[in-house]
Structure 1
Amino acid sequence: MQSPHAVDTGVKARRRSAGRKAADGSAASPHRRLTSEDVARAAGVSASAVSRAFTPGASVAPEKRARILRAAAELGYRPNVMARAVATRRSNVVGLILFNETNRHHPGVLLALSQAFSTIGVRVMLFLLEDDEEIGDVIDHVLSYQLDGVVAAAPIPSPLIDQLERARVPLLFYNRPGDDRCAAVGCDHHASGVLIARHVLDGGARRVALIRSYRDSFVGNERMRGVEEELATQDAGVVASFRGDFDYERGVAAVADWAARGIDDYDAVIAANDMMAIGAKDALVHKLGRSVPGDVMVAGFDGIEASRWLSNGIASVDQPIEHMARAAVEMMARQIEGKGAVVEYRLFPGRLQRAATAG
């Protein structure tokens, strides 16, 4: 048996000659890719032993694994992940489908999911959508890359879900409900709406203006449903309403629209997200000269970093994205391993984030 020193010497010699000879002794390009056979020869083991050494959980003697890893490091060898995916039928990559708008306003979603998946050795491939019409092309890419699963923070039509099912690609919806075939994880947006409404009511508000989301937004509609139901129980009314699209500019536009129509008797503004709430707060203060929260309380949803700035400081309901991400990873891992027979829908409560501008 070779000593460790002999193995090291052989590895270094191999590195010096790699550009001159191929494995069979013929001339080789200096740019030829190293293979597991190169590592096997350098370490004095079989190619299958090299494969096992780079496979988590595979059986290989500790001394042999150390010798293989040392040889691989000396040669500069890295295992071919794509080749392993073909052999094992596992890519160790999941697709994450997000709207561009979601990623722009909530970068923490991508970060939380990426970090949570990395703890189980899985990487995330990001697909960004500008609108719903692009989802068919995205699913085609998912199937072409043979990804292990899909986490979707966007709606997927039933025929495309059928395609994923036929290809045995698990699908989990993030922050939105799926159908009865798909697992889902999300924040309880209806309860969050109730929570923020109670907060402004406790501050004395009774005449509330709402900045809604676009009509087909599940998240926005659920939030406003909770708000309106809670206002109705406390003899408070909605005196103004405006349809936004989650952008700062639409919050400004809402206040301008109400002013143009002579509506100024509201004592609170609740927007479907923080960006519109911040826009409304700025318009109230800088365009109408109103005091926030002296004249008007302002509140939103999501708990984004900007909502906590001293210049903004709106009240908000924060989504527990770290808890949601961990749940998504746990549920997806079970499906990938074939242990997800029961379809789950896990909801997590939002957390109230108080601020001076909310009263």
Structure 2
Amino acid sequence: MTTSGSSFRKVTASDVAALAGVSKGTVSRAFTPGAPIAQAQREKVLKIAAELGYSPNLLARSLATRKTYIIGLVLDEMATNPNQLALLNEVTRQLQARGYSSLLLNISAAGDAAQPLRMADQLQIDGLLFLGVTLTDALINFARDIKHIPLVVMFRNSADAGIPYVSTDGYQAGREIAALLLQGGHQRIGYMAGPTSAGTTLRRFEGFRDALEERGVQLAAVLQAEHYDHACGLRSLMRHWESTPREQRLQALFCENDILALGAMDCLVACNAARRVAIVGFDDIALAAAPSYDLTTFRQPMEFLVGEAVSRLLDPTRQTAGSCLAPGTLVLRTSHLGMAN
């Protein structure tokens, strides 16, 4: 960039090309992931570009290539669910490694859920990743309509055969957690669910319920949390605790994710009943390992699942690969042990 007093002139591809002794097309290829160009020539162009302070005009490149190199990341519950932040970090890391940028689309329950998707469509993004989003009818209908944009649902099973998903095998996870709690001799066993979704499922509840019934144990209670946040987990168990006679209270509880489980554990502390209920979570967020919680939980293979989802968006040979379910890992700490009621 050259300056004269207060005036500035933006460095162009022609400036880089002239100094490097190459064509403008070569400069463009040097900045395009996967474009055919000799490595030595790419390095020379990039070095001169860095010295001049040049960066390519992505808008112009997108008009020429019909690609924006932008992927829309659709989230909800971002402010209250720590697992969303870890997931966002991993997704952006893998996209950047492939030369892509991300556009964050935060779905708010208070607004028009489809509006961020309409904006992403107008920006002609190259794909959409739904990151554990609780899909509403409006979102599902909009996703079906934008057939020209590939999309993948992550961490939930899509009920629409035309929308591929990449997720942990929640049904098997639920069965493993049920077996763990039954090994502890618990009989009054409950499940804490988060917000429901019309178009996606987690299958954790079904696996948990079925494994209990196969052993002759009926699910004692299903507690409902309005959102995936700590306060909702606390209130959900508090309602059960205050409305249920002591001899009928739950002995064990599987919470749909870790942040609900931590809220449930803090409810017990508030009721002077710490560790009176065996509790298991899901996700293995960083706070789960804190000594004050020592939460037994189920870890999802996040890096692998993100890789599978990104490949389905960006690799033409994988875009018809369909859905993917992967096994997770039961992480044993001490919260599942509980105490006698």
Q: TM-score, normalised by structure 1?
A: 0.82
Larger radius of gyration between Structure 1 and Structure 2: 1
CA separation of 1:90 and 1:132: change in aligned 2, threshold 3 A? farther
- Separation in structure 2 between the aligned mates of residue 175 and residue 60 of structure 1, nearest angstrom: 38
CA RMSD of aligned residues (A): 2.7
Partner of 2:262: 278
Change (3 A) 1:264 1:89: same
- In the TM superposition, what are the counterparts of 1:1-359 in structure 2 within 5 Å? 18-19=2-3, 30-60=7-37, 65=42, 67-101=44-78, 104-106=81-83, 107-131=85-109, 134-153=112-131, 154=133, 155=135, 157-165=139-147, 168-178=148-158, 179-216=160-197, 222-245=203-226, 246-265=228-247, 266-287=250-271, 289-292=272-275, 295-334=276-315, 337=316, 339-340=317-318, 342-359=320-337
Q: 1:126 to 1:63 in 2, by over 3 A?
A: closer
Letter in 1 for 2:326: F
CA, structure 1 residues 281+220, in 2 after alignment: closer, same or farther (shift >3 Å)?
Answer: farther
Alpha-carbon shift at residue 109 of structure 1 (Å): 0.9
Contact 1:103 1:109 in 2 (8 A): no
Match of 1:12 in 2: none
Distance in 2, Cα, partners of 1:269 & 1:183: 31
Aligned partners of 2:157 and 2:202 also within 8 Å: no
**Bigger proportion of residues as helix:** 1
Structure 1 segments (4+ residues) deviating >4 Å: 59-67, 217-221
**3-state secondary structure, aligned to 2:157:** coil
Which letter maps to 2:299? D
CA distance in 2, matches of 1:238, 1:63: 65
Q: How many residues align?
A: 328
* CA separation of 1:297 and 1:78: change in aligned 2, threshold 3 A: same
Q: Deviations over 1:236-289 (max 9, x none)?
A: 2333332113222233223332332233333212222222222222222331x3
Q: CA deviation at 1:326?
A: 0.9
How far 1:123 moved relative to its partner?
A: 1.8
How far off is 1:59 after superposition? 4.3
Which sections of structure 2, spanning at least 5 residues, go unmatched?
A: none
**Could you tell me the TM-score, scaled by structure 2's length?**
0.86
| Residue identity matched to 2:157 | P
SS at match of 1:31: strand
- Aligned-residue offset at 1:340: 4.5
